[in-house]
Amino acid sequence: MATCKCVVYYRISDGRKGSSCPDLYAQRAVVADYLQTGEWKVVGEFTGNDTKKSTDVLAACAELRKAVEMCKKKHATLIFAHLGRLARSAPFVNSLMDTGVDFKAADLPEADRFMMQVHAVMAEWERDQRSQRMKVALAAAKARGVVLGATGTENLKANIEARRNAANAFEKSVAKVFASFKAEGLTQRAMAEELNRRGIASRRGGEWKESHVRTVLKRLQEKFAHH
């Protein structure tokens, strides 16, 4: 097997590095396990904080930009630890695609670019929905006479965190199956039937209907149309 060059990029969200950042340690472990599955040669390693909101992700994160530049120079593949960090937003994935650099997520290496785009769009949609649910919950609490502010918002965190965890699991599974459905050219009705046949629950926990599939596809198309 021929040796493939790769550049590893670790993303942190709080500016800490080294042993003081448990998340970074976990990312290193995931990447190390993945690299053992093939003939990889690491030619570069970067750690950056790219949490700033920007339509130009590479411009907002110097370390990521350096990693991409090295990939181009060395003809290497860019490796991330987690798909969730790589495909956390459509602009992020699209920015990487525009560079022409190959990239992979160590925790789900079989994910192709389409799957990453689907995952990113679903993640953005869920964030929008979560924000809307927060607004509705706060309005309802205020109507009941609950005093809002730092303490009032804090009371909603446990529920929001539980919803976020459930949504993340849902997004990941749906992203993969929708990618395969897209490749197979299934109709919306066939997608719903196949989801139910596989025992995959809808986002609300019930069976899939054609209208549910249509809604998801419509949101995906609307998102892609803006990028």
Q: What is the mean pLDDT of the chain?
A: 75
Distance CA 105, CA 161 (A): 24
Look at residue 74 and tell me whether its pLDDT is greater than 80. Answer: yes
Query: Which helix (H) or strand (E) is 93 found in, with range?
Result: helix 90-99
Q: How many CA atoms lie within 13 A of 179 on its CB side?
A: 19
Mean pLDDT of the 10-22 span: 60
As to burial, measured by CB atoms within 10 angstroms (0-12 exposed, 13-18 middle, 19+ buried), residue 115 is buried
**Helices 113-143 and 210-225 meet at what angle, rounded to 10?**
100
Residue 27: per-residue pLDDT:
87
Mean pLDDT of the 18-27 span: 67
What SS3 state is found at 36? coil
Quickly state the pLDDT bin for 121 (edges 50, 70, 90).
Answer: confident
Residue 12: per-residue pLDDT:
80
Residue 62: per-residue pLDDT:
86
Cβ–Cβ under 8 Å, residues 27 and 82: yes
| Single-letter amino acid code for the residue at 19 | S
Quickly state the pLDDT bin for 18 (edges 50, 70, 90).
Answer: very low
State the architecture of 4-105 in CATH terms: 3-Layer(aba) Sandwich (3.40)
Per-residue model confidence as pLDDT tens digits over 128-173: 777 777 777 777 767 776 656 555 555 556 666 666 666 555 655 5
| Single-letter amino acid code for the residue at 167 | A
173 — phi, psi (to 5°)? Answer: -70, -45
What SS3 state is found at 48? strand
**Where are the domains positioned within the chain?**
4-105, 113-225
Cβ–Cβ under 8 Å, residues 90 and 171: no
